[in-house]
Structure 1
Amino acid sequence: MVNLKAKPFYLSDEDIQWVETTIESMTIEEKIGQLFINLGYRHDPEYLQEILDKYHIGGVRYNPNNADTIYEQNKYLQHNSKIPLLIAANTESGGNGACTDGTLIGTHVQIGATQDPKYAYQLGYVSGVEGAAIGCNWSFAPIVDINYNWRNPVTMTRCFSDKPDVVLDMSKAYFNGITQSGFAAAMKHFPGDGVDERDHHLLASVNTKSCEEWDQTYSKVYQGMIEAGIQSVMIGHIKLPAYSRRLNPNLTDAEIMPATLSPEIVTGLLREQLGFNGLVLTDASAMLGLTSAMKRSDQLPHAIAAGCDMFLFFNDPEEDFQFMMDGYKNGIITEQRLLEALTRILGLKASLGLPGKKQAGTLIPPKSALSVVGCEEHKAMAREVADQSITLVKQTRADLPLKPDTHRRIMVYVLGDELVFGQKQTGIKDMIVEELQKVGFDVTLYVSPSEQLAKSQLEKADDKKAPVAVQRLKREKISAFMDAYDAVILFANVQDFATQNYARIKWSSPMSSEIPWYVTSMPTVFVSLHNPFHLYDVPMVKTYINAYAPTRTIIQETISKIIGESSFKGNSEVDAFCGVWDTRI
């Protein structure tokens, strides 16, 4: 059974009494409801009340919105919930994961590039302060995956390093920072992403490490975080066949399940071998790594039976609730397994002081606390992280600095569809142009022929009046291009996370004008604003910069370094050369 006096709960006798009496007082519907973390699609009271009354949820994560909206949502939920809720946010990069106007401090790979755990602490600290201000109490971070495969589209910016020791040091620092605000943290994605090159949103990816290799790498990180007192673990839809077979030699290949549904991995490896006593939750249940493993009606109860305590997100609340109830009634979820899950769920709530806060009416801070969200102090931290992290990965020709007085006329290409997890991140191109113009460059932004056609901007007049991009359709003379510009800067903002099994450069058309044909003829600088592994696709460029995130602050700091006003201070904690020789030339 669960030891609530031990790590990570450390409950008093009074707290344990609350857990036990609360469980005893609950109806079976309320018990089943505690197993669910709802994804809040709406913020209106009618929707929130229905979720509370009909499904008795144990926790919530919500769709992004501004601080004021999320604050009012969380206030309503906590006031009207019989049992206080765990309210989670994906604060992987800062307070922007809790609300849209929060502060992005830095992606995990960006923090790694500072090579200083104090910035991981700041990342956790700001995440907690801004998240707590709007009423959150649980972070789905840090990400403790290890970036062994540069092709992996999930871990490319969501890993501190490709070295277990660095991942552990940064993760512990993040954890120490976020706990200052009374937050719980959930490290993810057990048993470890970053080996496979495929995305477990789209299939059950595979960690192919042997048991011995896993023990020396991922286990080192998980054990270190467990010793540090991490309260919860998110289970990935990731298979670990070596340990599945070791812990259950009778398994056939077809019977090896993603960890979410694997008692060998959750109970045998995480609980028994690593000794984790805290709360375990699944990753999002709409991900194909889970949904393709078995029927939905079986997925829900089998995840709990495997050792997970909470199930992340309804598909349809009414249907999923019934699936979980049926799994309990038909014995897939035993009485003991349900009791263990409830004990950990309520134990985590008690460890955060939620029962006492609910009684005192302080589960949600006063609205004046919102002043900390996006405050100048946090913005200054973000700027410092940008300055310390931006990395000059490659410079095999003296292209830098590019100064307005020596290279005034700049052709700028911006690559990428600007998608961020299915949502448009608008204004990146305009932001880049604005910031380059501010320092004195004369900027021409390339607009592809397809974009021109889409906007019905193709002109049928003579070539002299046609815009530059239209002239490019007609393959203008190389000499004309050379006469028009002094240098080229390419910015890449390629973010295809959770939509395809790669995140690579895609040019606008075959043999398009923006491909770096000009690299031998004029100074050319490539800047990645996301994926740190683009050098694999543009080995011909002589000057390559990883800037790690597409924010105005990072763009400003990158330009400052390009023009020589600031030095490059970042050092890549991943292999930006992608293990091939020609990227170094």
Structure 2
Amino acid sequence: MAKVNLKQKPYNLDEIQINWVKETIKNMTTEEKIGQLFFNLFFFGNDHFSGNKYTNKEILDKFHIGGARYHGANSEEVQGLINQLQKDAKIPLLVAANCDAGGNGACSDGTYIASGAQAEASRDTKVSYQAGYVSGRESTSLGVNVNFDPCVDILKNWRNTIVNTRAYGTNADDVIKYTNAYIQGLNHSEIITCIKHWPGDGTEERDQHLVLGVNELSVKEWEESFGRVYRNHIDNGVEMIMAGHIALPEYQKFLMPELEDKDILPATLAPELIEDLLKTKLNFNGLVITDASHMLGMTSAMRREDYVPKSIAAGCDMFLFFNNIDEDFQFMLNGYKNGVITEERLQDALERILGLKAKLNLHIKQSNNQLLKDKKELEIIGCEEHIKMSIEAADKGITLVKDTQNNLPINPINHKRVRLYMLEGEKGGIYESNSSTQDLIKSELENRGYIVTINNGFDRIKGKTLQYREETDLALVIGNIVGYGAENNYRIRWKAAMANEVPWFVHEVPTIFASLNFTTHLHDVTMVKTYINAYKDTHESIIQLIDKMEGKSKFKGTPNENVWTNKWQAKL
């Protein structure tokens, strides 16, 4: 077993900090030690995921959790929750957010800068740097001290939508370049960086929320791609790595030749991938956390009472989210008492956890009453400086993939009557498209002199072709398809069979398709001759998109090869 060295990177602790770590662990009860292994997910309002019946304070007092994440809410609500949690915690908490594109990942009113895909398209490391910079500044104003990003996956498979927008490239060089810049921006704030999803997503199309993920690369292929990415960040001192529920069969069998297909487990449960490859061969001296434990990539491996402690035994140091808090805590405690988690492994995990808290000096801030955040710090959320960065990122990133019919630019004289088609994805899920986007686009076009008619996508009746051509000057199709964890991959889903929103009209009137999220929709609309990737439905992005459609600003983004989805028709 690879043991942590708190004097070396990524900790670099002095003797006083190390002494606090060791003495704190020494004075813990067994239950307190077990609790430190858990990251709890807190909700605003009804806690419908964990079946929790406890107050937040009771969770801290009874289960002694080491880390916290939260779901939803605006900046004031989030800051209030974190302040209360830190106030009530005996040992200060690691508090995480998912800021992969800006402060919008930390609170609902945070500033979006650019997704990984948008940063890649901009071909400017300044964009990813500013995404990290704003992510750090806005999240730390709330009390967040860990960022579960950036995503360092490589988008090799165009069908993959779980990391489609979060990946910074289709090759190791781009991923390294843009994620290095992101972390440089993030490092302006006092925050822990957690990269993901070890050992690497993006080679297949399936989603670990629903099935065991598999990275099919050979040992040589992995070393030349994902291996380079992880070595780069480990060498640069990244503090935390999130293990995905992803198997790496070729490498696992190379490390353990006796393994058969039936023995292959996700990284979160595979000591050969955590202890042998990551912590020993790649010399990662930081903290490994599991991805969310309710995902099927983990739950389908074995009984929960077995995999809860086995994750720690395999080399993971923290366990992300309870299913049932009483049950999971007991599963972990039983695993320790039964010897699944050895004394040595528990001690090492605790040193890695408390080592990060010591690196941030959370214990000193707690004793000096400096851990709690002031409302005045929230003035940075959505500030003018950050909005300017968002506008700049949109300007550099929005990508004209093709315009083979020469439909651009448009203007309110020749294209006055616009038929607007809104294609949306999942509703009521963890993430969904903004319901106000249609109104925003309509309003912005009308302010510029266009007359906008919203198409009824449920209508199968197309009407008279000549009449449509007479009454419509421009068909604008907006793909605002958003979803998460309910499908293995997200594609265009028409509102009805053969609905009138399917682009039958591309040869009747000028037609433009613009995606506000996923970048590979051309697979389903190869007939479209003008296609744009705009990456996000923020107000700043919509303004930039229409400016570019009107020729008031140049398209500056560069598409990668995935946008063509291996279809020759997509390029026509």
Fold shared by both chains (TM-score > 0.5): yes
Question: Secondary structure of 1:448's partner?
Answer: coil
Which segment is superposed worse, 101-110 or 41-50? Answer: 41-50
Paired amino acid for 2:361: G
The question of 1:198 aligning with 2:200 is answered no
Residue matched to 1:229: 237
- The 8 Å contact of residues 91 and 127 in structure 1, kept in 2 or not, is answered as yes
* C-alpha distance in structure 2 between counterparts of 1:390 and 1:419, whole Å: 25
Which of the numbers 458, 471, 482 marks the counterpart of 1:484?
471
* C-alpha distance in structure 1 between counterparts of 2:163 and 2:256, whole Å: 29
Which of the numbers 440, 444, 453 marks the counterpart of 1:435?
444
CA displacement at 1:435 relative to structure 2: 1.6
* C-alpha distance in structure 1 between counterparts of 2:96 and 2:367, whole Å: 21
Q: How many residues align?
A: 563
CA displacement at 1:422 relative to structure 2: 2.6
Which segment is superposed worse, 360-369 or 73-82? Answer: 360-369
Task: Please show how residues 232-243 of structure 1 align to structure 2 within 5 Å.
Answer: 232-243=240-251
CA displacement at 1:395 relative to structure 2: 1.3
Task: Return closer, same or farther for 1:298/1:418 CA change in 2, 3 Å cut-off.
Answer: closer
* C-alpha distance in structure 2 between counterparts of 1:421 and 1:568, whole Å: 33
The question of 1:21 aligning with 2:23 is answered yes
Which of the numbers 369, 381, 393 marks the counterpart of 2:377?
369
Paired amino acid for 2:511: T
The question of 1:38 aligning with 2:40 is answered yes
CA displacement at 1:378 relative to structure 2: 0.7
The question of 1:579 aligning with 2:571 is answered no
* C-alpha distance in structure 2 between counterparts of 1:395 and 1:42, whole Å: 45
Residue matched to 1:502: 489
Residue matched to 2:322: 314
* C-alpha distance in structure 2 between counterparts of 1:255 and 1:340, whole Å: 26
Paired amino acid for 2:148: F
CA displacement at 1:246 relative to structure 2: 0.8
Residue matched to 1:8: 10
Which of the numbers 229, 254, 264 marks the counterpart of 2:272?
264
- The 8 Å contact of residues 168 and 174 in structure 2, kept in 1 or not, is answered as yes
- The 8 Å contact of residues 421 and 501 in structure 2, kept in 1 or not, is answered as yes
Which segment is superposed worse, 434-443 or 289-298? Answer: 434-443
* C-alpha distance in structure 2 between counterparts of 1:301 and 1:230, whole Å: 25
Which of the numbers 505, 509, 533 marks the counterpart of 1:522?
509
Task: Return closer, same or farther for 1:89/1:239 CA change in 2, 3 Å cut-off.
Answer: same
Residue matched to 2:455: 446
- After superposition, the C-alpha distances for 1:173-223 in whole angstroms (9 at most, x for unaligned) are 111111211000100000000001100110111000000000000000000
- The 8 Å contact of residues 16 and 347 in structure 1, kept in 2 or not, is answered as yes
- The 8 Å contact of residues 417 and 451 in structure 2, kept in 1 or not, is answered as yes
Residue matched to 1:52: 60
- The 8 Å contact of residues 431 and 484 in structure 2, kept in 1 or not, is answered as no
Question: Secondary structure of 1:61's partner?
Answer: strand
* C-alpha distance in structure 1 between counterparts of 2:16 and 2:303, whole Å: 42
Residue matched to 1:558: 545
CA displacement at 1:399 relative to structure 2: 0.4
Paired amino acid for 1:301: P
The question of 1:70 aligning with 2:57 is answered no
* C-alpha distance in structure 2 between counterparts of 1:323 and 1:365, whole Å: 35
Paired amino acid for 1:384: E
Any stretches of 5+ residues in structure 1 without a counterpart?
A: 450-468
* C-alpha distance in structure 2 between counterparts of 1:109 and 1:419, whole Å: 23
Question: Secondary structure of 1:281's partner?
Answer: strand
The question of 1:140 aligning with 2:148 is answered yes
Task: Return closer, same or farther for 1:121/1:419 CA change in 2, 3 Å cut-off.
Answer: farther
* C-alpha distance in structure 1 between counterparts of 2:348 and 2:559, whole Å: 43
- The 8 Å contact of residues 282 and 312 in structure 1, kept in 2 or not, is answered as yes
Paired amino acid for 1:393: V
* C-alpha distance in structure 2 between counterparts of 1:418 and 1:196, whole Å: 22
- The 8 Å contact of residues 161 and 574 in structure 1, kept in 2 or not, is answered as no
Paired amino acid for 1:440: G
Residue matched to 1:305: 313
The question of 1:329 aligning with 2:337 is answered yes
Question: Secondary structure of 2:563's partner?
Answer: coil
* C-alpha distance in structure 2 between counterparts of 1:350 and 1:169, whole Å: 30
CA displacement at 1:427 relative to structure 2: 1.4
Question: Secondary structure of 1:181's partner?
Answer: coil
Task: Please show how residues 451-466 of structure 1 align to structure 2 within 5 Å.
Answer: none
CA displacement at 1:337 relative to structure 2: 0.3
Residue matched to 1:186: 194
- The 8 Å contact of residues 190 and 233 in structure 1, kept in 2 or not, is answered as yes
- The 8 Å contact of residues 89 and 139 in structure 1, kept in 2 or not, is answered as yes
* C-alpha distance in structure 2 between counterparts of 1:46 and 1:248, whole Å: 43
Which segment is superposed worse, 51-60 or 347-356? Answer: 347-356
Residue matched to 1:462: none
- The 8 Å contact of residues 418 and 493 in structure 1, kept in 2 or not, is answered as no
Paired amino acid for 1:435: E
* C-alpha distance in structure 2 between counterparts of 1:257 and 1:557, whole Å: 46
- After superposition, the C-alpha distances for 1:354-397 in whole angstroms (9 at most, x for unaligned) are 11111111112322101001112111111110010000001112
Which segment is superposed worse, 348-357 or 327-336? Answer: 348-357
CA displacement at 1:496 relative to structure 2: 2.6
- The 8 Å contact of residues 94 and 102 in structure 1, kept in 2 or not, is answered as yes
Paired amino acid for 2:279: R
- The 8 Å contact of residues 461 and 500 in structure 2, kept in 1 or not, is answered as no
Question: Secondary structure of 2:73's partner?
Answer: coil
- The 8 Å contact of residues 153 and 167 in structure 2, kept in 1 or not, is answered as yes
Question: Secondary structure of 1:203's partner?
Answer: coil
* C-alpha distance in structure 1 between counterparts of 2:560 and 2:132, whole Å: 19
| Amino-acid identity (%) | 46
CA displacement at 1:475 relative to structure 2: 3.9
The question of 1:91 aligning with 2:95 is answered no
* C-alpha distance in structure 2 between counterparts of 1:29 and 1:82, whole Å: 13
Residue matched to 2:181: 173
CA displacement at 1:420 relative to structure 2: 7.9
The question of 1:151 aligning with 2:155 is answered no
Question: What's the TM-score once normalised by structure 1's chain length?
Answer: 0.94
- After superposition, the C-alpha distances for 1:25-46 in whole angstroms (9 at most, x for unaligned) are 1000000000000000247997
- The 8 Å contact of residues 420 and 496 in structure 1, kept in 2 or not, is answered as no
CA displacement at 1:419 relative to structure 2: 4.1
* C-alpha distance in structure 2 between counterparts of 1:330 and 1:12, whole Å: 35
CA displacement at 1:326 relative to structure 2: 0.2
Question: Secondary structure of 1:434's partner?
Answer: helix
CA displacement at 1:421 relative to structure 2: 4.8
- After superposition, the C-alpha distances for 1:531-567 in whole angstroms (9 at most, x for unaligned) are 1000111111111000011212111110111111111
Which of the numbers 548, 555, 572 marks the counterpart of 1:568?
555
* C-alpha distance in structure 2 between counterparts of 1:139 and 1:421, whole Å: 23
* C-alpha distance in structure 2 between counterparts of 1:68 and 1:496, whole Å: 26
CA displacement at 1:432 relative to structure 2: 1.6
CA displacement at 1:474 relative to structure 2: 4.4
CA displacement at 1:78 relative to structure 2: 0.9
- The 8 Å contact of residues 41 and 69 in structure 2, kept in 1 or not, is answered as yes
